[in-house]
Amino acid sequence: MHLTLLKCKLHRACVTHAEVDYEGSCAIDEELLELAGIREYEQIQIYNVTNGERFTTYAIRAESGSRVISVNGAAAHKAEPGDRVIICAYAGMTEAEAESFKPTLVYLNEHNRVTRTGDAIPAQAA
């Protein structure tokens, strides 16, 4: 059996730019890409916490240390600067691989600075 699990996420990143006329994608600070384990041109899902939009695009590299999160092309209609988003990448794996897998979770503040990292989401209380 093949499963698709959350590979990594940038949690509550702050959109810095929304560029309709830029070639489509989402530009992400290279340091954040590396920390989360998102590859350039990898498919990503973006969940806009501010307005509820959910969409698929791919990651491209923004200047290292810039803290840029730029939603580009048609996706720019789904986010605007200041919106908080969750950027996720997923990976396919076997049942055996999934047994020991832990995702990379990177939590950001409103300036796209890392506040903490983790590899598990606590159980939601009733």
Tell me if residue 107 is catalytic. Answer: no
CATH number at residue 78: 2.40.40.20
Q: What is the mean pLDDT of residues 17-22?
A: 96
Query: What pTM does this model have?
Result: 0.96
Find out whether 104 is annotated in a ligand binding site: no
Find out whether 37 is annotated in a ligand binding site: no
Q: In this prediction, what percent of the chain has a pLDDT beyond 90?
A: 97
Find out whether 65 is annotated in a ligand binding site: no
Provide the pLDDT for residue 35.
Answer: 98
- Band the pLDDT of 76: cuts 50, 70, 90: very high
Q: Is residue 124 part of a domain?
A: no
Which residues form the domain of 80? 2-118
How many domains, the chain? 1
Assess contact for 30 and 62: CB atoms under 8 A: yes
Exposure string of 17-44, with b = 16+ CB inside 10 Å and e = fewer, is bbeeeeeebbbbbbbbbeebebeeebeb
Q: Which of 58, 66, 90, 107 is catalytic?
A: 58
Tell me if residue 58 is catalytic. Answer: yes
